[in-house]
Amino acid sequence: YNEGVVSGAVLVLHDMTQERQYIADLSWQAAHDPLTGLVNRSEFEHRLQRVLDGIDDQASSHCLMFLDLDQFKLVNDTGVH
């Protein structure tokens, strides 16, 4: 900068592709079960709440199915899957 005139510029660029992919991977891991790839309970509850919050604004139908497998925790904990 010389007498009110810009005499040069410095640009600093950084490729954020790997950082963005790393964040996306971490977000996915935080929201999904590593064994099944299904969303975990926390993510499920978050998504369900989002649907319920918007239910008055939409003229669509929704359905929720709950499946309870007896003794599944025992099978899951043994690691025989």
Q: Give the pLDDT confidence of 22-50 residue by residue, as tens digits.
A: 999 999 999 999 888 999 999 999 999 99
CA distances from 38 to 12, 34, 57 (A): 40, 8, 28
What confidence score (pLDDT) does residue 53 get?
86
Secondary structure (DSSP) of 63-78: -------TTHHHHHHH
Q: Residue 81 pLDDT > 60, yes or no?
A: no
What confidence score (pLDDT) does residue 75 get?
74
Nearest CA to 39 among 48, 78, 75? 48
Q: Residue 64 pLDDT > 90, yes or no?
A: no
- Is there a contact between 50 and 56 (Cβ–Cβ < 8 Å)? no
| Entry pTM | 0.58
What confidence score (pLDDT) does residue 21 get?
98
- Is there a contact between 51 and 62 (Cβ–Cβ < 8 Å)? yes
